Structure 1
Amino acid sequence: MAERGRFVTFEGIDGSGKSTQARRLADTLRAAGGEVVLTREPGGSPGAEEIRRLLVEGPPERWSAETEILLFTAARRDHLEKTVLPALARGATVISDRFADSTRVYQGAARGELRGLVDALHAQVIGHEPDLTFILDMDPDASLARGLARQSGEDRFEEFGAGFQARLRDGFRALASEFPGRCRLIDAARPEAEIAAEIAKLCGAEAP
């Protein structure tokens, strides 16, 4: 039986460089010979990708925070069943661009006082935490400008504006303090290669 793999997640405000750093870490670990599954939330499985479009496209007022929590939890459950748990069971490293911490911050704090609902659903439906979480931290105005400049069509949360992004940053920083055993706060206002090298070192790897 394969030893259980490692579950690593990347969190942070929109435009902080999570996706880039998740890809770089995956490349580094693959170069070292390990099996790596690079995935994302919302999404990461066929069903969850369908739900993703409902969440990240359209006007900001499309859903209430409570409805978002239910949609994110449904997508996460499918992602967990179809992608994350099977990969961990065969000993792979799973690297996910966002997981439950994003719901704790986006819907549980920045959009209202709904952390209790988020935690209750997580405990009953998800029940899994990452082994290691990197929280990429940077100025919310700079991060927002970067995120909007992508013009990805998935700008629903960026369109909540700068005040929302500032609340998100505060929420993620508070989360790093709440879970110091698994969360590492990373200064993301630095050159991409420098950030990648720090993350690789914290993972026990060496960036190329």
Structure 2
Amino acid sequence: MKTPFIVLEGLEGAGKSTVLQVITQWLEQRGIDYLTVREPGGTPLAESLRELIKKDWDERVSPEAELLVMYAARVQLVNEVIKPALAQGRWVIGDRHDLSSQAYQGGGRQLSKNMLAQLSDMTLQGFKPDLTLYLDIEPAVGLARASARGALDRIEREALGFFERTRARYQELAAADPSIKTIDAEQTPEQVKAHVLAVLEAQWPS
């Protein structure tokens, strides 16, 4: 069996960290070796790029510059960490991947789909997750949750309309790709957990 790459996606406050715990516990119960990664980040270079992208600058960060930094961090993580782990038979669970750029920079920043497709093809060369869990949440609800956790970074402080466009693109992409499963993140934690486990068991039965 091909070693799986699973990704969690969603707006701020959607509960990715909680779902990550659900998945890792499920893997541990099965005795499966795994690695967790996050984007942007996951290597020394990619973590430095993460700081750059989240930092407040005394200048406007152009959408194109933001996009290129995201892909630089992503391709470094994929080539140096994710692919080697998968080759060793370790499952990889990622907190964000390419779908984030399609949604945030494509939907939120309104960059062209053609630009995003070309950049994705050039850097990832068709590499994609085996399963993506998209945690869907109303932007206002998610931002309220995120604000309660502490200070927001540069992207998290964008206007509500930015996140509404991002969510709309997420939903559009999820509807078009059967490997993306949508989870209602506004359910109770118990309901979210049950839905996530049902998806995992359906794809990889005991």
TM-score by length of 2: 0.91
1:184 equivalent in structure 2: 181
Aligned residues: 202
Which 4+ stretches in 1 moved above 2 angstroms?
59-62
Runs of 5+ consecutive residues of structure 1 not aligned to the other structure: none
Correspondence for 1:193 among 179, 190, 193: 190
Between the aligned partners of 1:100 and 1:61, the Cα distance in structure 2 is 26
TM-score by length of 1: 0.90
How much has 1:194 moved relative to structure 2? 2.1
Structure 1, residues 69-98: CA drift from partner, whole Å, max 9, x if none? 110110001100121101111111111010
Are the equivalent residues in 2 in contact too, given 1:108–1:116 (CA < 8 A)? no
Alignment of 1:41-52 (within 5 A): 41-52=39-50
Between the aligned partners of 1:120 and 1:55, the Cα distance in structure 2 is 21
How much has 1:7 moved relative to structure 2? 0.5
Alignment of 1:168-183 (within 5 A): 168-179=166-177, 181-183=178-180
Is the partner of 1:133 in helix, strand or coil?
Answer: strand
Between the aligned partners of 1:55 and 1:104, the Cα distance in structure 2 is 16
Are the equivalent residues in 1 in contact too, given 2:107–2:168 (CA < 8 A)? no
Structure 1, residues 105-141: CA drift from partner, whole Å, max 9, x if none? 1111211232211110110111211000111011111
Identity across matched positions, percent:
35
Alignment of 1:80-159 (within 5 A): 80-127=78-125, 128-152=127-151, 155-159=153-157
Are the equivalent residues in 1 in contact too, given 2:63–2:111 (CA < 8 A)? no
1:22 equivalent in structure 2: 20
2:62 equivalent in structure 1: 64
Structure 1, residues 28-50: CA drift from partner, whole Å, max 9, x if none? 21221001111110112221111
Runs of 5+ consecutive residues of structure 2 not aligned to the other structure: none
Between the aligned partners of 2:149 and 2:132, the Cα distance in structure 1 is 25
Between the aligned partners of 1:106 and 1:112, the Cα distance in structure 2 is 8
